[in-house]
Structure 1
Amino acid sequence: MQLSFQQHEEKLAKELSVMYFFTGTEEFLVEESISSVLKRAKKDGFSELERFEITQQESWAEVLLALDSHSLFSEKKILIAQLSRNVFGKNVLNELLKWVETNDESTILILRGANWDYRLRRAEWYKFMVKYATVVVSESLSIQMAMKWITRMASEASIRLSRDTCEELAILTEGNLAAARQEIERLALSFMSENKTIEIDDMNRMNWSLCGAFDAINEATRGNTQRLMNQLEALKRGGIQPLMLVGAVASHLRQVHRMCRGETISTSYRREQDMNQLADRLGQRNVEDLLIECTHIDGEEKGLIRGDAWDAIESILLKIAGSQGAPLVENSVSNLRIDYSS
């Protein structure tokens, strides 16, 4: 069957399918659709995830083998195949049909289609998918629908936007929800400590140098040390204050700490994957230590603790990226404790 994003959400609330095909022109909604299936499947006991990339006909061999193989680590597993080209030979479709007809519901196959074109609906492989899989096509949204999504994303980020601000964001991003989410995450970093409704003037007055801070944190999270150092140099030249940057870093680490404790956070699929990898790489104790180090930087700026704030921030971000930084502060403050939940 073929569903819209909204119809998919309604069906998913009732049941999972064994095979999905996701495509469309709105990348954000495509990723949201996949993410929602993964979250629902996790609740239903699907604990193993394998990823594949389909670049040519021969790439299917590995996927088909995985479909016929039982997991060594879990009774239920999910396979995600990213198609850089929509290549479905007759043999592949026959094998998929055999698998669907004999599936014991212990495996879910998620296919992420290549570039979407409405003319693909005439293709035999697409008709096959509509018949045997749940096909979800996410297409561009109107400004009004984009505003509803922006309001929802802002609420999930714990900030409030006025209606005019929502409309302005929808227009500026041309209804591109992935771009809108990125802007909302930046707004959340800027206004995280203010209990207010963000108006257009607030957004326009926002210190956009924080955008560079956001990029630096992302590079650190992904372990891109050289790009991180380039971003930090640019931030220094731009005159950003260390405390503004450390506030953004601490906010990011608090989210990672929540993930370490098994909590679910609201963010983009790509960023969630990056943060999950960071949580696994650092572990809860190291994240807590880094949060404590963030609290020291305020003391360094005020001269209460010996050290340089920029060096301290650089050291924290390098540790996030997987590199060893210099000690930040004197041992006399190493026993400080903070409330991670605030």
Structure 2
Amino acid sequence: MELTPERLVAQLDNETLRPAYLIAGAEPLRVLEAADAVRLRARAQGIGEREIFDVDARFNWSLLEASLRAPSLFSAQRLLEVRLPSGKPGTDGAKVLGGFCADPPPDVVLLVTCDEWSRQHGGKWSEAIARVGHVVVAWPVKAHELPEWIERRMRARGLRANRDAVQVLAERVEGNLLAAAQEIDKLALLDEGATIDAARMESLVADAARFDVFRLLDAAMNGQGAHAARMLAGLRAEGIAVPALLGMVAMELQRAAALAQVQARGGNLAAEFKAQRIWDSKQAAYKRALARHDAARWDEFVARIGRVDRAAKGRGDGDPWQQLERVLLAVADAKAARLVAG
């Protein structure tokens, strides 16, 4: 049975560790906290030895297999962590993980964590883990679920807030669970015992959405033009200068232009992702953006950012904020691409 991270944490309090755990999902905070709960339980259970294996395309699965079968050197039990960002172990990895679960040694607890997960990621190897342990999936928290998630976390920290206050925090963090968790931890330090209302919440929390420069390009790449425009306006209101943004914007657009060239000539897009060092979790956004524009359009975006840079430095005409907004909107929406023409 698939568990939520929160359910796993509760269940670990009532059972000894099982031979294997798979914790996966695109919500890094929930994955991290679920994995931390397993690590904490391992320490409480007297497991003092820990090995970590970071899996990439060149990973040698025989090394993990040898370690899984080797006797413990320093303690009665070991925790072996396999960090599998893509959520896809391949044929060799699936064989090793499945073989372990078929006959798990009594001195090893296996913890597999993945940054990517969908219904298509699972297979016989994850089913094998489910039979001897637990599969935990941190599905993204949807917008309508976020207030409940915030309220539940606040209660766990001993905080009380009314519904309007919770909504204020939800709007400020815009789905960023890590930012929400940080704000709640800060609220716990400032807690005076009274129920927090909307006005108090407004005065205590920072607008995390405005500071999240990295999500600005994510929004544009994912086709969320209005969201990107709002974030840009927030950054401007906070006094961020255009040149401070352009380095990252230019880098991401240059990456997309290189990918578009590879795609146009029928090249190996997966290899280019690797060459550009683009994380698996980011690739879906790039693919969506590449589907909206051809290679020539991406080159045009890169050229336009050069003009924004000149305008920001007083060497060109026009309002650099307006020009940058138009580029981001064009990236997000093919129909808006005419805004950067010429």
> TM-score, normalising length from structure 2?
0.52
Q: How far apart are 1:180 and its partner, in Å? A: 0.9
Deviation readout 1:47-91 (Å, 9 max, x if unpaired): 222222111253433322321222222111111121133342434
Shift of 1:41: 2.3
Question: CA 1:101–1:185 in 2, change beyond 3 Å: closer, same or farther?
Answer: same
- 2:197 — aligned with what? 199
Contact persistence 2:101–2:128 (CA under 8 A):
no
Distance 1:97 1:208 in 2: 46
* Cα distance change, pair 117–100 in 1 and its aligned pair in 2 (3 A): closer
> 1:49-198 alignment to 2 at 5 Å?
49-121=50-122, 123=123, 125-131=125-131, 133-142=133-142, 145-189=145-189, 191-192=190-191, 194-198=192-196
Where 1:30 maps in the other structure, the secondary structure is helix
Distance 1:181 1:6, change over 3 A: closer
Q: 1:96 to 1:204 in 2, by over 3 A?
A: closer
Cα distance in 2 between the residues matched to 1:76 and 1:153: 33
TM-score w.r.t. structure 1 length? 0.52
1:28 equivalent to 2:29? Answer: yes
Q: Secondary structure at the match of 2:51?
A: strand
Percent of aligned pairs sharing the same letter: 28
Q: Cα gap change, 1:133/1:59 in structure 2, threshold over 3 Å: closer, same or farther? A: farther
Change (3 A) 1:56 1:132: farther
CA distance in 1, matches of 2:206, 2:178: 19
Give the counterpart letter for 1:163 in structure 2. Answer: R
1:161–1:197 Cα contact (<8 Å) kept: yes
Q: Distance in 1 between matches of 2:19 and 2:162?
A: 41
Equivalence for 1:253: none
Whether the 8 Å CA contact 1:53–1:59 is kept in 2: the answer is: no
Deviations 1:88-128 (A, max 9, x none): 2434333333333332332111111132233324x554455
Contact map agreement 2:160 2:195 (CA 8 A) in 1: yes
Residues 151 and 2 (structure 1), Cα distance of their counterparts in 2 relative to 1, 3 Å cut: closer
Paired AA for residue 118 in structure 1: R
Paired with 1:28 and 1:127, the residues of 2 have a C-alpha distance of 24
The C-alpha deviation readout for 1:9-61, integer Å capped at 9, x for no partner, is 45433342211111123222222221222222222222222222111253433
Matched residue count: 209
Distance in 1 separating the partners of 2:124 and 2:104: 22
Structure 2 unaligned blocks of 5 or more: 208-238, 240-342
Distance 2:84 2:62 in 1: 14
Structure 2 CA distance for partners of 1:117 and 1:207, relative to 1, 3 Å:
closer
